[in-house]
Amino acid sequence: MSAEARDLQDEHQKYVEDLGGFTRTHSCGELDVSHIGLEVNLAGWIQFRRDHGGLIFVDLRDRAGLTQVVFSPEEAEEEHRRAGILRAEYVVALRGLVRARPEGMSNPSLPTGAIEVLVREWKLLNTSKTPPFPIEDRIDPGENLRLQYRYLDLRRPRMAANLVLRHRVAQSVRRYLDEAGFLEIETPFLTRSTPEGARDFLVPSRVNRGNFYALPQSPQIFKQLLMVSGLERYFQIVRCFRDEDLRADRQPEFTQIDIEMSFADEEQVMRLAEGMVARVLKDVRGLDAALPLPRMSHAQAMADYGSDKPDTRFGLLLKDVTDIVRASSFRLFSAAPLVKALRVPGGEGLSRKEIDDFTEFVKIYGAGGLAWIKLRGAAGSDEEWQSPIAKFLSADEKSALRDRLELQSGDIAFFQAGEPGMVNAALGNLRIKLAEHLGLIDKNALNLLWVTDFPLFEYDGEENRYVACHHPFTSPAPGSDPGQPGETLARAYDMVLNGTELGGGSIRNHRAARQREMFDALGFSREAAEEQFGFLMQALEMGAPPHGGIAFGLDRLVMLLAGADSIRDVIAFPKTQKATCLLTGAPAGVEGGQLLELGLKLREAREEVRERPAETGVNKPA
């Protein structure tokens, strides 16, 4: 801010007044031709000021929108003279007459564009320094600057609309669950640390030195205890905390719509949950969701989409061709445990540079490269297989690939070979990359579905053991044996929207003996299980009813409904990808006296701190 501008602001401060009994009668977004002739009181921020000689026009902004106000010397000479001091982001209150804009001066893109307010009296409530960026949607000042001045960023119409949408979603959820007989119950933020996959945020205790609370990664255990308590139907829109690496849809603190119900099976939980999402879509977007939602098994999702959260807005399905190329002279194919292919209809137009870019892309997911084939000409003697690997394929293998992939002249097929996890991750993400590149995704579509029949366990090659696929409190499918972890399915379910997991849940182990079997299968010693979960096991022995639930990511849901690229755009005060708050400077050091009170001493930065490994591999407390 220049010295001249600072002096001008200081000069204008002498005109600042209190509200002095002023009462706002309307917002800046609601006036229209039905209000013509009405005297109104408005208050807000100056968006723009235009001095047209005899008249001064100001766009006045509040959370609801913009209204054009006019200062005229004929209507109020002194008020017009004083209006010369107004600058962007000054805060004012005014009284005036609603009138139609002159012919040809309407603004059809603005809800209030057919009217203006002729000012009769106004007050300056506060001045403002020149903002570091214009308070406009069409300006992108960069995320770091936006987060540093978040209170200014939230004045922008798009950002304010996102938080209004978030509020409406939350209220829709509350109304729906209240009507369904659920109680909103708060659970503790200060609890004990238990192994739940991500690192806990720890809080040292001053009263009990040397001991720590943990901020909850989810209310999982507490909501199960509420079912044991006989409260039957619980929900909470709750903050959760995980000390993990961040990305566009992940924050160290986030919000869940947490639901648990007694005497319920999968069908009841899923019907309730999809009804809730349908209500939200209707309330906030006016959309009708077709219920019941389609369902897809985890096995089918992985086979066809390479992902347990499939985006079904477009095709490009994956095909397993391992059996066709098992005897191929191309060793990469013949030696691989899994070979899958992705056909792109009409994709022969992809350039070599584009193919090279896709090859680099799949390396993110552990792939060593990307094989491809372009097919030209009709089947038979006229067809041409253009590819560096075509010479390794026999005529029978080509014929079988053509049939399996339904290849046509002008198509391209991409191949990936190796361990199943890598193959599915590489081709599953390439599928989405190709759809975006080729414009195959309907951005207006909202494709909802359930993914069911998850494995109860998944094998962790690094730790050389099985870990829980959802969490260790999930019940195995009827007839399953947790002692056979590689063959056991879970009573678990995820709701997916456009390739993003909205929520996940399961039916829980309500019998202590079955829960012990789960801990045994996960490698917990009886002593470790008792130390960490003894209070839960004791509760399960006290007449625990069958129960299950689900948790939705509120931030993700609002992000998708708002069409935002990041959940940071739908959270009032988010952290950066380095988990810092640019507005407040958190995290920050504390006074030495505070550390002494807690009995803590900081290590030198150069000292190596060994991380505690997670013990269960839980990846989705829900």
Helix (H) or strand (E) holding 62: strand 55-62
C-alpha distance from residue 47 to each of 58, 156, 541 (Å): 7, 10, 64
Query: What does the DSSP assignment read for 73-126?
Result: TTT-HHHHHHGGG--TT-EEEEEEEEEEPPTT---TTSTTTTEEEEEEEEEEEE
Q: HSE of 244 in the Cβ direction (CA atoms, 13 Å)?
A: 18
Q: List pLDDT tens digits, range 113-125.
A: 999 999 999 999 9
Q: List pLDDT tens digits, range 131-147.
A: 999 999 998 899 999 99
Look at residue 442 and tell me whether its pLDDT is greater than 70.
yes
Task: Grade residue 5 by pLDDT with cuts at 50, 70 and 90.
Answer: low
Question: How far apart, in whole angstroms, are the C-alpha atoms of residue 177 and residue 179?
Answer: 5
Q: In the prediction, which pLDDT does 487 show?
A: 81
**Start-to-end Cα distance in the chain:** 49
Q: HSE of 259 in the Cβ direction (CA atoms, 13 Å)?
A: 30
487 exposed, middle or buried (CB, 10 Å; 0-12, 13-18, 19+)? exposed
Question: How far apart, in whole angstroms, are the C-alpha atoms of residue 336 and residue 323?
Answer: 11
In the CATH scheme, what is the code of domain 3-126? 2.40.50.140
Q: In the prediction, which pLDDT does 396 show?
A: 93
Which of these CATH numbers, 3.40.50.2300, 3.30.930.10, 3.10.580.10, 3.40.50.1860, describes 160-290+448-571? 3.30.930.10
The whole-angstrom distance between residue 289's C-alpha and the CA centroid of its chain comes to: 20
Most confident of 375-384, 426-435, 521-530: 426-435
Topology of domain 314-438 in CATH is Gyrase A; domain 2 (3.30.1360)
3-state secondary structure of 499: coil
Q: List pLDDT tens digits, range 391-408.
A: 999 999 999 999 999 999
Look at residue 615 and tell me whether its pLDDT is greater than 50.
no
Q: Is the dihedral of CA 472, 478, 484, 489 positive or negative?
A: negative
The residue among 346 and 467 whose pLDDT is bigger is 346
Look at residue 589 and tell me whether its pLDDT is greater than 50.
yes
In the chain, what are the domain boundaries? 3-126, 160-290+448-571, 314-438
Q: Is the dihedral of CA 336, 340, 344, 345 positive or negative?
A: positive
* Residue 68 near residue 112, CB atoms below 8 Å: yes
Q: List pLDDT tens digits, range 183-214.
A: 999 999 999 988 766 789 999 999 999 999 99
Task: Residue 394: count other Cβ atoms within 10 Å of its Cβ.
Answer: 12
Question: How far apart, in whole angstroms, are the C-alpha atoms of residue 96 and residue 111?
Answer: 19
Task: Grade residue 612 by pLDDT with cuts at 50, 70 and 90.
Answer: very low
3-state secondary structure of 525: coil
Q: In the prediction, which pLDDT does 617 show?
A: 39
Task: Grade residue 611 by pLDDT with cuts at 50, 70 and 90.
Answer: very low
The mean pLDDT of 478-506, rounded to a whole number, is 89
The mean pLDDT of 245-264, rounded to a whole number, is 89
The backbone torsions φ and ψ at residue 22, rounded to the nearest 5 degrees and listed phi first, read -65, 135
Q: List pLDDT tens digits, range 367-394.
A: 999 999 999 876 656 688 999 999 999 9
The residue among 222 and 468 whose pLDDT is bigger is 222
Task: Grade residue 304 by pLDDT with cuts at 50, 70 and 90.
Answer: very high
Enter the DSSP assignment of 13: H
Task: Grade residue 524 by pLDDT with cuts at 50, 70 and 90.
Answer: confident
The mean pLDDT of 212-236, rounded to a whole number, is 96
The residue among 524 and 227 whose pLDDT is bigger is 227
- Please list the alpha-helical segments (H only) found in 14-67: none
**Secondary structure of the chain: what % helix, strand, coil (to 5)?**
30, 25, 45
Look at residue 606 and tell me whether its pLDDT is greater than 60.
no
User: Could you give the angle at the alpha carbon of 340 between the alpha carbons of 336 and 342, nearest 5°?
Assistant: 150
Q: HSE of 260 in the Cβ direction (CA atoms, 13 Å)?
A: 28
Task: Residue 221: count other Cβ atoms within 10 Å of its Cβ.
Answer: 21
Enter the DSSP assignment of 472: T
Task: Grade residue 16 by pLDDT with cuts at 50, 70 and 90.
Answer: confident
The mean pLDDT of 294-318, rounded to a whole number, is 97
Enter the DSSP assignment of 599: T
The mean pLDDT of 159-171, rounded to a whole number, is 97
Q: Is the dihedral of CA 570, 575, 576, 577 positive or negative?
A: negative
Question: How far apart, in whole angstroms, are the C-alpha atoms of residue 131 and residue 142?
Answer: 14
Enter the DSSP assignment of 259: E
C-alpha distance from residue 337 to each of 162, 212, 318, 321, 440 (Å): 46, 46, 16, 11, 31
Task: Grade residue 468 by pLDDT with cuts at 50, 70 and 90.
Answer: confident
Q: In the prediction, which pLDDT does 17 show?
A: 86
431 exposed, middle or buried (CB, 10 Å; 0-12, 13-18, 19+)? buried
Look at residue 579 and tell me whether its pLDDT is greater than 80.
yes
C-alpha distance from residue 35 to each of 6, 97, 100 (Å): 39, 9, 9
Q: Which residues contact 520 (CB under 8 A, 6 or more apart)?
A: 482, 483
Look at residue 234 and tell me whether its pLDDT is greater than 60.
yes
C-alpha distance from residue 75 to each of 5, 48, 105, 116, 387 (Å): 30, 21, 20, 14, 79
Q: Which residues contact 225 (CB under 8 A, 6 or more apart)?
A: 536, 539
Question: How far apart, in whole angstroms, are the C-alpha atoms of residue 207 and residue 190?
Answer: 14
Q: In the prediction, which pLDDT does 7 show?
A: 67
* Residue 428 near residue 444, CB atoms below 8 Å: no
The mean pLDDT of 79-104, rounded to a whole number, is 95
* Residue 476 near residue 482, CB atoms below 8 Å: yes
Q: In the prediction, which pLDDT does 335 show?
A: 92
Report the mean per-residue pLDDT for the chain.
91
